[in-house]
């Protein structure tokens, strides 16, 4: 019998009037010509023999050979190679450590995963202290420098990080000194709600080149909907002038805004305009709120559709700016473009539990900052080190090969099932694929592929900027 | 490649990795031009071309008939003496397999 040929997993898309293919799971992106595009599309309808293809397209052999070579197509009888389940070797070098210097906050944002209805750690009466001590912070630094490679990143997080500014300030000095002794480079960043920014703090952040991310949701009526003080008063009028001061003085690192999107707050373009043009942020990143589906602020399927169409419009603005070599601060698209450019194909959705760990106020080490302080997600402590058994069990359980839902999705090289904390909040299981936003992820990945394809034709030099960049974890 | 143009870095690596790929004895859908399987069929290896009697009746059988090359370059579960511990000189008299293969003797534990 003559062998039948079929298409393997892929996502075909068009950009700049040309056909492209994104191959799964290799994450390679090829531009197709007419011959290879015809063969691929025909085989995607149903399997055919080489003779049928030759009959339809003339001499299709060279195109078939090339598509087969990159495994875009294959003989039906040859099973695709099984997903290799390779567990990273321990000890895996630590690149980023998120220090929760406090679990207290002076705001009472109603959607907050740390204090709201979906919280997993009792920060009021729980076992963890409310503030990290100087000693625990120093032990954390020692722990990081012991486990890290040449470069170590420390991110200060909360709670509201600046509630514990004295410890932050001393930890930075200590980490600089210790890193110099070890011959390593250390780099600092922090997230804050901006309410406690003062001239001397701003001066310190600028002088020490601390990367700053501000949690802010947008213009006054948007910000004040959820980001409120405990008496219900909005925080916009408090933070806006302080952020302007910060942006004016702190020029040594680009400062980004981090926006939480909710069902009541999906006007992405308007928020972006306000934060860049009126406030002056260099970059704005958006993330949908993490919450269980029953909450009023949870984003529904319709909401995800609306969000996607707004993201798409903003992404095309980013494209036109990039073609003209102008800066555009929509950071979501830039991060995805970088991953597409490198051809990342992930076994795990993020570095949590691997290259990134979160430290709770008491010194417990968790998968990431979102789980810091939770006994169920503890993988060690800064004094006793990483519990290698717990880490191995975590990596074994959360590998993409275990997520059967994802095994047929073309977006899995980038998504890999999505955020563990989101899954925990939605499904009570960190290993569950985040099925509620699959359509959104595929839609957004599709948009970014189009932008990537356009840039590869219209301004390939723009993409070359990602060549030498190390991937960095974003913390949100 | 003429019909596909690698765009991202992974595509460049896929192209490089599949350029003159090494294909051994596995069945593969990739067109090969021509396909040279690696292993004992390319070189003279007693145990495949000829059995210990110089004939072909005992080729590729288990126990003592899988000789010489099987334990070095082949996946076959070779039944050969333990050259590291018990029979370090097993192939000492076999300078060139084509000529000297009859000098490789059987060793019983």
- Write the pLDDT tens digit of every residue in A422-456: 999 999 999 999 999 999 999 999 999 999 999 99
Secondary structure E strands in A165-219: 185-192, 211-215
Which helix or strand (DSSP H or E) is residue A240 part of? Answer: helix A236-249
Residues in chain B closer than 8 A to A64 (CB atoms): 31
Residues in chain B closer than 8 A to A67 (CB atoms): 3-4
Closest to B31 in 3D by CA, of A55, A59, A50: A50
Chain B residue with CA closest to A463: the answer is B8
Residues B34, B47: Cα–Cα separation, whole Å = 26
Q: How far is CA A151 from the centre of its chain?
A: 20
pLDDT at residue number B33: 53
pLDDT at residue number B21: 57
Residues in chain A closer than 8 A to B17 (CB atoms): none
| Contact flag B31-A65 (C-beta cutoff 8 Å) | yes
| Contact flag B4-A35 (C-beta cutoff 8 Å) | no
Nearest to A343 among B1, B8, B18 (CB): B8
CA distances from A434 to A120, A134, A188, A406 (A): 18, 38, 31, 10
Q: How far is A30 from chain B (nearest CA, A)?
A: 5
Nearest to A70 among B4, B8, B27 (CB): B4
Closest to A473 in 3D by CA, of A152, A60, A255: A152
Show me where the domains of chain A are located. Answer: 4-75, 94-388
Q: What's the whole-model pTM score? A: 0.83
Q: Does the pLDDT value for residue B61 go beyond 50?
A: no
Which CATH number is associated with domain A94-388?
Answer: 3.20.20.70
- What's the angle, vertex CA A368, arms to CA A367 and CA A369, rounded to 5? 140
| Contact flag B10-A29 (C-beta cutoff 8 Å) | yes
Residues B3-23 have pLDDT tens digits of: 999 999 999 999 988 876 555
Chain B residue with CA closest to A25: the answer is B10
Residues A201, A185: Cα–Cα separation, whole Å = 23
Chain A residue with CA closest to B31: the answer is A65
Residues in chain B closer than 8 A to A35 (CB atoms): 3
Query: Chains A, B: CB contacts under 8 A, how many?
Result: 81
Chain A residue with CA closest to B13: the answer is A28
pLDDT at residue number B32: 52
Residues A399, A346: Cα–Cα separation, whole Å = 9
pLDDT at residue number B55: 64
Residues A454, A450: Cα–Cα separation, whole Å = 6
Residues A178, A190: Cα–Cα separation, whole Å = 20
Residue of A59, A69, A454 to mutate when probing chain B, most B C-beta within 10 A: A69
Residues B52, B63: Cα–Cα separation, whole Å = 12
Instruction: Give the residue with greater pLDDT, A100 vs B32.
Output: A100
Reduce the secondary structure of A71-119 to three states and give it as a string: CCEEECCCCCCCCCCCCCCCCCCEEEEEEECECCCCCCCCCCCCCCCCC
Nearest to A28 among B2, B11, B29 (CB): B11
Q: How far is B53 from chain A (nearest CA, A)?
A: 40
Closest to A323 in 3D by CA, of A447, A466, A453: A453
What residues of B act catalytically? 66
Residues 284-313 of A with CB under 8 A from B: none
Q: How far is A146 from chain B (nearest CA, A)?
A: 32
Residues A8, A165: Cα–Cα separation, whole Å = 54
Chain B residue with CA closest to A67: the answer is B4
Q: Does the pLDDT value for residue B64 go beyond 70?
A: no
Q: Grade residue B26 by pLDDT with cuts at 50, 70 and 90.
A: very low
- What's the angle, vertex CA A358, arms to CA A354 and CA A359, rounded to 5? 130
| Contact flag B9-A62 (C-beta cutoff 8 Å) | no
Least confident of A77-91, A258-272, B64-78: B64-78
| pLDDT (mean) for A300-320 | 95
Q: Does the pLDDT value for residue B28 go beyond 60?
A: no
Q: Grade residue A220 by pLDDT with cuts at 50, 70 and 90.
A: very high
Residues A36-55 have pLDDT tens digits of: 999 999 999 999 999 999 99
Is A157 at the interface with chain B, CB within 8 A?
no
């Amino acid at each position: 019998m003559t062998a039948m040929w079929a298409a393997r997993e892929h996502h075909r898309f068009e950009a700049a009037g040309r056909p492209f293919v994104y191959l799964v799971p290799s994450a390679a992106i090829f531009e197709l010509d007419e011959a290879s595009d015809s063969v691929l599309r025909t085989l995607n309808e149903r399997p055919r023999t080489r003779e049928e293809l030759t009959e339809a397209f003339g001499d299709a052999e060279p195109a078939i050979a090339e598509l087969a070579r990159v495994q875009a197509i294959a003989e039906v009888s040859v099973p695709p190679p099984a997903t290799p389940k390779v567990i990273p070797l321990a000890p895996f070098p630590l690149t980023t450590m998120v220090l929760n210097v406090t679990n207290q906050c002076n705001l009472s944002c109603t959607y907050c995963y740390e204090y709201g209805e979906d919280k997993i750690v009792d920060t009021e009466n729980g076992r963890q202290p409310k503030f990290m001590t100087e000693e625990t912070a120093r032990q954390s630094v020692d722990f990081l420098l012991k486990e890290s490679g040449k470069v170590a990143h420390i991110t200060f997080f909360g709670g509201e990080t600046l509630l514990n500014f004295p410890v932050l300030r001393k930890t930075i000095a200590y980490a600089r000194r210790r890193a110099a002794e070890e011959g390593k480079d250390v780099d600092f960043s922090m997230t804050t709600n901006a309410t406690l920014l003062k001239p001397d703090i701003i001066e310190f952040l600028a002088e020490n080149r601390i990367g700053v991310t501000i949690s802010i949701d947008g213009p006054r009526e948007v910000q004040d909907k959820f980001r409120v003080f405990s008496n219900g008063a909005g925080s916009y009028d408090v933070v806006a002038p302080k952020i302007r001061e910060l942006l004016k003085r702190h020029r040594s690192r680009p400062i980004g805004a981090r926006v939480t999107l909710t069902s009541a707050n999906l006007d992405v373009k308007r928020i972006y305009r306000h934060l860049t043009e009126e406030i002056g942020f260099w970059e704005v990143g958006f993330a949908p709120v993490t919450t269980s589906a029953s909450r009023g602020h949870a984003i529904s399927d319709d909401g995800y559709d609306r969000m996607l169409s707004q993201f798409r419009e903003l992404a095309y603005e980013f494209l036109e700016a990039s073609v003209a070599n102008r800066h555009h601060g929509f950071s979501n698209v830039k991060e995805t473009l970088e991953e597409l450019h490198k051809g990342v194909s992930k076994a795990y959705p993020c570095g949590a539990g691997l290259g990134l760990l979160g430290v709770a106020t008491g010194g417990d080490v968790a998968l990431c900052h979102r789980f810091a302080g939770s006994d169920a997600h503890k993988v060690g402590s800064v004094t006793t080190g990483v519990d290698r058994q717990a880490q191995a069990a975590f990596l074994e359980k959360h590998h993409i090969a275990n997520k059967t839902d994802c095994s047929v999705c073309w977006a899995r090289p980038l998504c890999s099932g999505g955020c563990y904390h989101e899954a925990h909040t939605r499904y009570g299981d960190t290993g569950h694929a985040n099925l509620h936003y699959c359509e959104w992820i595929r839609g957004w990945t599709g948009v970014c592929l189009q932008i990537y394809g356009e840039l590869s034709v219209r301004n390939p030099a723009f993409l070359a900027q990602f060549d030498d960049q190390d991937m960095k974890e974003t913390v949100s | 490649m003429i019909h596909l143009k690698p765009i991202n870095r992974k595509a460049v690596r896929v192209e490089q990795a599949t350029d003159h790929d090494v294909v051994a004895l596995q069945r593969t859908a990739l067109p090969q031009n021509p396909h040279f399987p690696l292993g004992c069929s390319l070189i003279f290896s007693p145990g495949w071309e000829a059995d210990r009697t110089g004939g072909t009746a005992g080729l590729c059988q288990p126990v003592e008939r899988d000789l010489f090359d099987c334990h070095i370059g082949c996946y076959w579960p070779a039944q050969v003496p333990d050259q590291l511990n018990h029979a370090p000189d097993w192939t000492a008299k076999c300078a060139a397999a084509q000529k000297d293969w009859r000098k490789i003797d059987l060793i019983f534990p």
